[in-house]
Amino acid sequence: MEASFLELRRKQVINTVDGKCLGHITDIIFDVVTANALGFIVPQPNCGFWGMFKGNKDLFIPFNCVCKIGVDVILVELYVEQNPPPPPPPKRKQQNIIALENKQVPY
């Protein structure tokens, strides 16, 4: 199957893992040495007002994650960690304890 970049840009990218729409393709990445397409870029969802203030929040999808390219959509199987793990709890200071007549007193 052959498709131009303009044709691919019009298709919505859908993740089959969670059913979410990832948006439209904004760029395609090529390996210059081998002249092979490696994957494509879609903007991260909820990353700013019309994508203007998003910074570097784009999502790279390698072509080996593409399940099917249809007439209207591109189905990908992409496992994206939505919520980062919570930070570890702060370490508690150890108290030195002296045993005095069956009573423990911190010093």
Q: Provide the residue ranges of all domains of the chain, joining segments of one domain with +.
A: 5-81
Give the pLDDT band (50/70/90) at residue 24.
very high
Residue 18 pLDDT: 87
Percent share of the chain, pLDDT over 70: 63
CATH number of 5-81: 2.30.30.240
The H or E element containing residue 8 is: helix 5-9
User: The whole model's pTM is what?
Assistant: 0.63
Residues 6+ apart with CB under 8 A from 57: 43, 44, 47, 48
Look at the block and give the residue holding tokens 């999808």.
61
